[in-house]
Amino acid sequence: MSRLDSAIRRLQAQRACLDWAVGELAGLVDLGGAPVLELGLGNGRTYDHLRDRLPGRDIFVFERKVAAHPDCVPDAAHLFEGDFHDHLPRALDRIGARAAMAHCDIGSGDVDLTKALADFVGPALVSLLAPGAVVAADQALTIPGCEPVPLPEGVAPGRYHLYRMAQK
């Protein structure tokens, strides 16, 4: 498969999983106003997609160094810029509520660094997710209290990952 075809399939899988997760939020009546987390802003495409699909909902973004399209950068109140290790453990104090959804796009070209970050992010999300919250991720995550969710039709196993936090 060419790199172009692989990129297209990755973006299609990402969109399908994000749209599934957004659809699940409609059924989370208790979490109607709960925020959404975006880990990894990149150039802002998925943040923009989530803004479009979830108008009026607070979306908090975590990004090491912002380099997104200017129209796709959150305001300072919704942006955690810097290392995830510094921000995720204390984020709930600033956000003020547990999230109904998290999207984690944390992969890089470095397999070992990506694995180490995924190993940190999974457990770090636990204190930030509300019961019943959904997670879409480009990397396999181990999130205590979360169970894997079947992928939407057409998304190849391993291409993207979905999880749901247990209801308490």
32 or 39: whose pLDDT is higher?
Answer: 39
Rounded to the nearest 10 degrees, how much is the dihedral formed by the CA atoms of 130, 126, 51, 68? 170
pTM for this prediction: 0.94
Q: Which CATH topology does 3-165 take? A: Rossmann fold (3.40.50)
The reported pLDDT for the residue numbered 94 is 95
Q: Which residues pair with 54 in a beta bridge?
A: none
The reported pLDDT for the residue numbered 27 is 73
Measured N-to-C along each axis, helices 3-25 and 45-53 cross at an angle, to the nearest 10 degrees, of: 30
Mean pLDDT, rounded, for 56-60:
94
78: nearest Cα among 47, 54, 100, 45: 47
The reported pLDDT for the residue numbered 31 is 64
Q: How far is Cα of residue 65 from the mean position of the Cα atoms in its chain?
A: 17
The reported pLDDT for the residue numbered 30 is 64
pLDDT digits (tens, 9 = 90+) for 107-157: 988 999 999 999 999 999 999 999 999 999 999 999 999 999 999 999 999
The reported pLDDT for the residue numbered 29 is 57
Position 62, amino acid: F
pLDDT(36) > 90: yes
